[in-house]
Structure 1
Amino acid sequence: MKTVPMLFLLFILIEQVEAEEIQSAHSLKSIKLSAEEEFKKEHKVEKQFIEKANTLGDAIKHVSGVQSSSFGPNSGVPVIRGLQGNRVGVFENGTSIQGLNAISGNVNIPFDPIFTESIKINKSSNSVRYGDQSLGGSVEVDSGLIPKKIPEKSRELDLVLKKGWNNFDAKGLKLQLSNQTNLATNIRFSRQEIKSYKIPGKSKADVCESEIFRNGGVNSSLADVCQKDSRIKSTYNKASQPYIDRFITDNPDYADGDFSYYTDNATSTFGGKLYQNIVNPDYVQGTERFKHENINNDVTPNYNKKLGNSYAINDNIALGTTYFLENGYIGFSADYKKSHYGVPGFSMENKSFQTNYDDGLPVGVKTEQNTFLLDSLFNQPLPFLDNIQFKASNLVNKSGEYIGASEANLYEFEQNFAEFVVKQKELKFLSGEMGLSWGQRDVHGKGYARYLPNVKTNRQAFFIQEKLSFNPIYFDAGYRKEKVEHQIQDQTFVLARNANNQKLENRDFDLTQFYVGAGLNWGEHVHIYAKYSESERAPEINELYSSNPHYSVMTQEEGNQNLEKEKVKAMELNTDFAFDQSRIQLSLYQMDFTNYVYLMHSGMAMGNRLPLKYWRQTDVKIDGFEIDLSYKFLLCTRQK
């Protein structure tokens, strides 16, 4: 931690030297960073970072405390402070876009980096605003598809063409039309594609060759992960014994392999009769009785200089239009995204030992997503209201996993959502908002490798957030009450023989979320904010009901419908120090989980050597900190 004050002193020293140089040149208007003005709970990712990314996870992984959980180069989902999946909400234009991606790590989040405008990240619990699946934070994508203001020009066309080495080739078109009065429309098309990724060496790690055979045995777990047929073959050495057994030679039906024909003795007795054994002409004194050969065959190809099965094609076609009123707008959008990509690494069905591997079957993922969104805003509809916002959406996500050309499973997620939010007019000290939301999701699956049942999930919620400001101190608080119901639609889903569940049953959960916070704006340069929150999450359908092999993630996971709701108590302290061009931001956080849901390895392997894992619960505590140091350099030219 000694490096922190040293860096701070270095910033101050740079400022002094730079100031002297500027005085000897000419005066510039100073740039001041204000902690009070610029400190926000969300971190905004600008377009220059987004357009370089291939996945949503790639676009935000440069932010401190945020990572991308990659299942190969074509699938990257956000991870915030070690939490991901069902604990991090992902939204586009205010509506959830999570489907199978939150349940199966190999399924990507449909995402268009070419025309997305910005991304906001809330790194602390955002469950009061967005519900239990934002218990670990939220990622909000603003596609800019629905215009929120009248464009400056009546017509504008953007064309994009990108070619790169070992990266996506991309092309896109965006047409913006407006009557400059009350109507604006966006039309978009984009495509990204790559045939395969080039790599320096082999597609499988070196340990798949060097570490599988150790201490005279086979590391079977590593062999399974490497998708290797690894075994030690023992062959009898006919030159290791000096005699050939005469009785066995005359009576071969008594033999139990080649070693039965050889002996160390010149004579042998059977049934009271003495046999004179034959001298072995191939005998070599001192040789080992058995030869051991390490067999290490690739079940799936080990490619050289390329990552096998790493192709990808992503398409996006969308239209958004807005009618502007005197006091707001009504917008509508239709968005179609399609992707088809290979899952490298675990790229084939993990076949059994000593099988014919010539018919290797690569795993691929195909996703189609249709989204229809109505977004409306009405300013000051009543004297005591600042605005009313109403949103409604329908999203249909079809995600299929393929083994070769065969459809292993196909799931359709249909989500209907509506939200009504009222923002009150700011009083002298008080501001805030409250809202109602309703959501329904139907999950239907098919295919011989289906691992989830058909489930309908209903959600209803009420939330309120308020802020009380007494400059330089302020307080804020939020509360949400939520109901989640999982309803099994039929009993056609066949459970594995190792399943926890016997007969699938409906589950419902009553959830409560709240937070309280306090902040201090100390002049223009220092901001301190502390927050305490308690959040609850309902187990997802894969945690409750999954069963059977899931080849594309190479595991067999078994759900537990008796899981309790997950609870977390979290504390966070944020400090922001801004002095001229220097800035230091520090965050300390602690999350104390009760009934944390996790996937536990049973220690056993099932059919096709897939590890058997069970969903379990335990208590978990997560502590961490983040520090961001930044400095803005002033560039100037000397006067002549």
Structure 2
Amino acid sequence: MSQKHPQSWLHLGQTALLSTALASALISTATAEPSTAPTAFLPEISITASPLTSDATQLALPSQAVEAQTLAEEQPNSLGTALGELPGVTQSGFAAGANRPIIRGLDNFRILVQENGVPANGASALSEDHGVPVNAASADRIEIIKGPATLRYGSQALGGVVNVLNNRIPSAPLTDTTGSLSATVSSVNNGHQESLKIETGADFGDSSNNISLHLDASNQHASDYEAPNAAGVEVNTATKSQSVAGGAAFHFATGYFGLSASTIDSQYGLPAPEDPDEPITIDMRETRINTKFVFDDLGEWGNSLTATLGYTDYTHDEIEGGLAIGATFDIEEWDGRVEWLHPAIGTMEGAIGLNGFTRDLAAGGEAEELIAPAKTNSIALFLFETLPLSESLDLQMGARAEHVEVEGTAFDTATLTESARSRSFTPLNASLALVQSFGEDWVASLNGQMVQRAPDALELFTKGPHHASETFELGNADLNVETAYSAEISLRRYSSPFTFEVSAYASQFDGFIYKHLTGRTCDHDYVSCVAAPTEELSEALFVQRDAFFWGAEAQAKWSLLTTSEGVFGIDGQADFVKARFTSDAAGSGNVPRIPPLRYGLGLFWETDNVNARINVLRASKQNSVADNETSTKGYTLLNANINTQMEIGNHQLDIGLVGHNLLDDDIRLHSSIRKDEVLQPGRDVRLVLTAHF
């Protein structure tokens, strides 16, 4: 590690000056957003979990959301950072620019990341060093569905769905011009981030016709971040990114259609390189175009019809030593979806849908040694139904049939030859759930599911070195469908002053696919692999074993004191997941990279103009390790923030101060494959300014 930044706090002073400029800018702007009232922990609104209801109390699957106010106050620089401290959610922590959410110990090909309902994984599921091409700072809301959500979203949602909502295709008519301008500086990495959002619209013709427009842009730059306890900086963790997006929607009496386009360009370093003289930097670029059609009134033909179509062009370059491009990954993908809310059949309501995608993966340079070009096609039919059994008891049912074809080049380790292979899979999924309400305060749910996932092209056809992750990866072209039998029970209370949610779950996996570290090391071809730590790359095989996952999550909020000035209270959370292999293969039996037990408490004060909280999250030591995996010590994470809203005329300026890891504790994430080499960031203080107009 190198020495610390000599001017880590310089940008704090610069942003204090910037606040004056932002306040001045408000004088000439239009209508401001109103002050935010104290939060009441009301039922979350979830458009991701169900096509039939927006009330989270009526959902069988547990859902969470990070709201616009929290996102604006904290300005997260990655999706993993935004979600990683929620109950049941952790982060991959590979690099500052490559940080995916992990849900209940599951990640990569089992977690589907979406933007406005359209898949947005890019190449992030292919490897831990690949970033998620989504700008978390531009989000209005991020929704998380924990547990198997494959019935509506397909095989890649076996572990859950993360849906980033940013209204780039305005879903409701706009008639005023509104927007926000934000600036953030951080001490831990001498970083700064700026973002802009503007929305406007106007009626034309009769009052039922409207054109609405959206624009957002962001810029982010950070140097290598400081490690805890005066250990210097974590080398090659600098990041920078820029994004621009725009969209438009035409609203008419019975619905709307719209189009959006976005581009993101991100560069970030990978810490602890195998060759310190040639550190690897990632240059990630993506262009995405989405369209959406919504018809809200179909008369006797049903309640609504929604269709989306998305196109993604993604490129990921791995630059060695700051000069030459060593490896390139290119992905071109089309995603389509149609969902019809059919007429009620007696008291039963439901939706029938069709969705599919086609994805072309190409690799260049050294990446050609890892995987040859591959193509995946998927088409699926699904249905989701709700049947009231009484005034307080609902039965929710779902089913999905999917056909997946994967084409690529397989490598035979016995003959050291390659051959073209084509695999076809038919994952089937079914679910059954009961949701019971008790008065207006309590909701209990019980659900069971059988879900299946087809292997990804990378799991089938990888065949060589991946220097960015320092692994030599070997797929298995004979992998079968992965099947999970899951059950979950939950109890929720959403009425103040005491609200809580607790859930327990279990999943039996038949043929769980995972990346197994063999303990062997390799150079640049398979014949170089030896049973000794003498080569640069760790051998990793994609294999299947039966496994059993189980765990629980809880969160609660108690408003202890409510006055005319505001609300003071306490909140808490806890989560754990255990995962062991149940087949008879030799080894420790533990599934790798499973997060430890976490628990925490917080205090909050909420008023019309000031929100403040302090919370501590304790992660226990993880001793349940897999083969060739080391234990990870626990840590204590202390965070605090305060946000105040100032009225300037008819406008609003938000000023926030956010502290993260205030104890400067050494944090290593057991879910990270680089946790033995890389510490997470040390103490960080951020100043966040947001002007609303």
Q: Given the two structures, how large is their TM-score scaled by the length of structure 1?
A: 0.74
User: Number of paired residues?
Assistant: 494
1:8 maps to what in 2?
none
Greater shift, 335-344 or 574-583, is seen at: 574-583
1:133 maps to what in 2?
156
Once the two structures are superposed, the pairs formed by residues 10-409 of structure 1 within 5 Å of their partners are: 39=57, 40=59, 41=61, 42-51=63-72, 52=74, 53-153=76-176, 155-167=177-189, 168-181=191-204, 182-200=210-228, 305-345=232-272, 347-349=273-275, 360-404=277-321, 405-409=323-327
Once the two structures are superposed, the pairs formed by residues 531-542 of structure 1 within 5 Å of their partners are: 531-542=447-458
8 Å Cα contact 2:320-2:326 kept in structure 1: yes
Change (3 A) 1:631 1:458: same
- Residue 485 of structure 2 aligns to a residue in which SS? strand
1:299 maps to what in 2?
none
Which of the numbers 383, 395, 399 marks the counterpart of 1:475? 395
In the aligned structure 1, how far is the partner of 2:454 from the partner of 2:251? 39
Q: Which amino acid aligns with 2:490?
A: N
In the aligned structure 2, how far is the partner of 1:476 from the partner of 1:143? 29
The superposition leaves residues 180-204 of structure 1 with CA deviations (integer Å, 9 ceiling, x where unpaired) of: 44101112221111022122458xx
The superposition leaves residues 532-587 of structure 1 with CA deviations (integer Å, 9 ceiling, x where unpaired) of: 00011111111111111111111101111011110000000011134541023110
Change (3 A) 1:531 1:611: same
Deviation at 1:63, TM superposition (A): 1.8
1:465 to 2:384 alignment? yes
- Residue 542 of structure 1 aligns to a residue in which SS? helix
2:21 maps to what in 1?
none
Deviation at 1:71, TM superposition (A): 0.2
8 Å Cα contact 2:41-2:499 kept in structure 1: no
Deviation at 1:611, TM superposition (A): 1.4
- Residue 57 of structure 1 aligns to a residue in which SS? helix
8 Å Cα contact 1:496-1:547 kept in structure 2: no
Change (3 A) 1:552 1:531: same
Q: Which amino acid aligns with 1:70?
A: G
- Residue 172 of structure 2 aligns to a residue in which SS? coil
In the aligned structure 2, how far is the partner of 1:401 from the partner of 1:151? 42
1:589 to 2:505 alignment? yes
1:548 to 2:464 alignment? yes
Deviation at 1:330, TM superposition (A): 0.6
Q: Which amino acid aligns with 2:433?
A: G
2:404 maps to what in 1?
484
In the aligned structure 1, how far is the partner of 2:39 from the partner of 2:310? 47
In the aligned structure 2, how far is the partner of 1:199 from the partner of 1:424? 55
Q: Which amino acid aligns with 1:432?
A: G
Change (3 A) 1:591 1:178: same
Greater shift, 626-635 or 539-548, is seen at: 626-635
1:623 to 2:644 alignment? no
Once the two structures are superposed, the pairs formed by residues 547-586 of structure 1 within 5 Å of their partners are: 547-578=463-494, 580-586=496-502
In the aligned structure 1, how far is the partner of 2:415 from the partner of 2:261? 41
Change (3 A) 1:637 1:145: closer
Structure 1 residue runs without a partner (length 5+): 1-28, 203-303, 350-356
8 Å Cα contact 1:77-1:108 kept in structure 2: yes
Identity of matched residues, % = 23
Q: Which amino acid aligns with 2:123?
A: L
The superposition leaves residues 250-290 of structure 1 with CA deviations (integer Å, 9 ceiling, x where unpaired) of: xxxxxxxxxxxxxxxxxxxxxxxxxxxxxxxxxxxxxxxxx
Q: Which amino acid aligns with 2:483?
A: K
Change (3 A) 1:373 1:81: same
2:339 maps to what in 1?
421
Change (3 A) 1:498 1:98: farther
The superposition leaves residues 301-335 of structure 1 with CA deviations (integer Å, 9 ceiling, x where unpaired) of: xxx61111111111111110011111110110001
In the aligned structure 2, how far is the partner of 1:201 from the partner of 1:633? 36
Q: Which amino acid aligns with 2:348?
A: L
In the aligned structure 1, how far is the partner of 2:95 from the partner of 2:356? 35
- Residue 317 of structure 2 aligns to a residue in which SS? strand
Which of the numbers 338, 344, 365 marks the counterpart of 1:447? 365
- Residue 562 of structure 1 aligns to a residue in which SS? coil
The superposition leaves residues 94-148 of structure 1 with CA deviations (integer Å, 9 ceiling, x where unpaired) of: 1111122101101110122332110111101000110011011111111221111
- Residue 562 of structure 2 aligns to a residue in which SS? coil
8 Å Cα contact 2:96-2:238 kept in structure 1: no
In the aligned structure 1, how far is the partner of 2:194 from the partner of 2:320? 30
In the aligned structure 2, how far is the partner of 1:479 from the partner of 1:510? 13
In the aligned structure 1, how far is the partner of 2:460 from the partner of 2:198? 45
- Residue 48 of structure 1 aligns to a residue in which SS? helix
Deviation at 1:530, TM superposition (A): 0.4
The superposition leaves residues 608-636 of structure 1 with CA deviations (integer Å, 9 ceiling, x where unpaired) of: 42111211111000111111121134432
1:5 maps to what in 2?
none
The superposition leaves residues 50-81 of structure 1 with CA deviations (integer Å, 9 ceiling, x where unpaired) of: 34211111111222111111102222111111
Deviation at 1:428, TM superposition (A): 5.5
Change (3 A) 1:383 1:126: same
2:570 maps to what in 1?
none
Change (3 A) 1:323 1:33: closer
Structure 2 residue runs without a partner (length 5+): 1-37, 45-52, 205-209, 524-534, 566-693
Change (3 A) 1:401 1:601: same
The superposition leaves residues 482-532 of structure 1 with CA deviations (integer Å, 9 ceiling, x where unpaired) of: 0000123xx6x9x59689874241111011011000111111122110000
The superposition leaves residues 144-163 of structure 1 with CA deviations (integer Å, 9 ceiling, x where unpaired) of: 2111112241x334222222
8 Å Cα contact 2:255-2:297 kept in structure 1: no
1:506 to 2:422 alignment? yes
8 Å Cα contact 1:316-1:336 kept in structure 2: yes
8 Å Cα contact 2:114-2:162 kept in structure 1: yes
In the aligned structure 1, how far is the partner of 2:518 from the partner of 2:503? 37
Change (3 A) 1:334 1:38: closer
In the aligned structure 2, how far is the partner of 1:34 from the partner of 1:516? 23
In the aligned structure 2, how far is the partner of 1:512 from the partner of 1:500? 35
Change (3 A) 1:499 1:188: farther
Change (3 A) 1:326 1:592: same
RMSD: 2.4
8 Å Cα contact 2:174-2:202 kept in structure 1: no
The superposition leaves residues 319-369 of structure 1 with CA deviations (integer Å, 9 ceiling, x where unpaired) of: 100111111101100010110010112x243xxxxxxx7xx1011111111
Change (3 A) 1:172 1:580: closer
Q: Given the two structures, how large is their TM-score scaled by the length of structure 2?
A: 0.68
Which of the numbers 443, 454, 463 marks the counterpart of 1:527? 443
- Residue 163 of structure 1 aligns to a residue in which SS? strand
In the aligned structure 1, how far is the partner of 2:494 from the partner of 2:163? 26
Greater shift, 176-185 or 75-84, is seen at: 176-185
